[in-house]
């Protein structure tokens, strides 16, 4: 059990097991109700965690299913939104659990939306476990499929945790993604690795990190501060030329710690907007999983994808 606790702390996504204790949370209705409550009450402390949990429970019946609004392969990008949006889930999550809030919001705003599952065999509900360089190849193949289906020249990438940090940055830098990507929006991204509140450093000191990786997948080790993946990825700077970057970070993040590890430094022809959830809404205390269902986050992402038509991001978003 102690080793399992270390594994949970390394990435934190095992907190979705809380979903199993939510007896009535498996309905899709509960997802929208909680989000609406947060919107009308100004903000909820961390209502998004219940939404994430509800979606994860629902995904157990069909781990490969798409979130609402995603993977309409007949979607034609509009002049207003010429780039399809590709959603990349986090470690130990899956597309449906991660994106059942943001995906329909993007679809309603007029975007063509696509979401992949990666880093685990089909039928496995806990995805995103694989070695990040290998998962990046899966992202590359999926992006190529989206571009072929839509006829678009580039995509916008939006990801959470691993899916907004090391994984898409590896794709951009080492798998040819920079030429096919206009913008990367990282939500609570694991850009420079995490201590997971010190447990990753402890695991490394105790020489148990390799054992943890065998049980939890190499993605856990890849995302610790000082990993070989981090070292290679950060060499030469955080960004690649020609791509625009946005991070959406919460100060209450208990997984990617310290939270400032999530910020990026701009590079040549690679501007960066580092945004903080609490700067937009001081009442929104969404943590690492809850931010995936924060209406404030939705607005920040929509603004990043369509900067010519921004709307205020605040507690009434």
pTM over 0.75: yes
Burial of 207 (0-12, 13-18, 19+ CB in 10 A): exposed
Question: Token pair of 259, please?
Answer: 């939270």
What is the per-residue pLDDT for 211? Answer: 61
pLDDT digits (tens, 9 = 90+) for 80-138: 999 999 999 999 899 999 999 999 999 999 999 999 999 999 999 989 999 999 999 99
- Full pLDDT tens readout for the chain, 317 residues: 333 333 433 434 333 333 333 333 333 333 332 333 333 334 455 679 899 999 999 999 999 999 999 999 999 999 999 999 999 999 989 999 999 999 999 999 999 999 999 999 999 998 999 999 999 999 999 999 999 999 999 999 999 999 999 999 999 999 999 999 999 999 999 999 988 664 564 455 556 566 655 657 899 889 989 999 999 999 999 999 999 999 999 999 988 999 999 999 999 999 999 999 999 999 999 999 999 999 999 999 999 999 999 999 999 88
Spatial neighbors of 58 by CB under 8 A, at least 6 apart, are 26, 27, 28, 96, 97, 100
Q: Which CA distances in Å does 94 have to 108, 203, 236?
A: 22, 26, 31
């Amino acid at each position: 059990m102690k080793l399992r606790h270390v594994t949970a702390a390394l990435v934190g996504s095992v907190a979705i097991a809380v979903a199993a204790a939510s007896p009535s949370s498996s309905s899709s209705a509960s997802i929208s109700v909680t989000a609406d409550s947060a919107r009308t009450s100004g903000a909820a402390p961390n209502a998004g965690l219940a939404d994430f949990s509800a979606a994860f429970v629902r995904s157990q019946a069909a781990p490969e299913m798409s979130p609402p609004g995603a993977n309409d392969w007949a979607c034609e990008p509009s002049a207003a939104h010429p780039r399809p949006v590709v959603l990349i889930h986090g470690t130990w999550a899956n597309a449906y659990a991660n994106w059942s809030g943001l995906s329909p919001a993007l679809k309603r705003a007029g975007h063509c939306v696509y979401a992949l599952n990666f880093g685990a065999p089909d039928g496995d509900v806990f995805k995103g476990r694989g070695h990040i360089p290998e998962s990046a190849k899966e992202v590359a193949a999926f992006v190529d499929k989206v571009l072929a289906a839509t006829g678009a020249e580039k995509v916008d990438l939006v990801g959470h945790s691993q899916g907004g940090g090391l994984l898409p940055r590896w794709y951009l830098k080492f798998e040819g993604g920079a030429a096919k990507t206009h913008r990367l929006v990282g939500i609570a991204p694991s850009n420079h690795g995490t201590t997971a509140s010190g447990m990753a450093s402890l695991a490394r000191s105790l020489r148990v990190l390799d054992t943890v990786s065998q049980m939890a997948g190499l993605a856990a080790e890849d995302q610790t501060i000082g990993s070989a993946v981090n070292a290679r990825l950060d060499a030469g700077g955080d960004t690649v030329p020609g791509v625009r970057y946005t991070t959406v970070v919460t100060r209450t993040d208990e997984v990617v710690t310290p939270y400032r590890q999530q910020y990026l430094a701009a590079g040549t022809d690679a501007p960066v907007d580092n945004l903080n959830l609490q700067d937009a809404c001081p009442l929104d205390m969404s943590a690492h999983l809850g931010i995936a269902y924060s209406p404030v986050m939705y607005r920040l992402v929509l603004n990043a994808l369509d900067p010519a038509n921004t709307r205020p991001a605040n507690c009434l978003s």
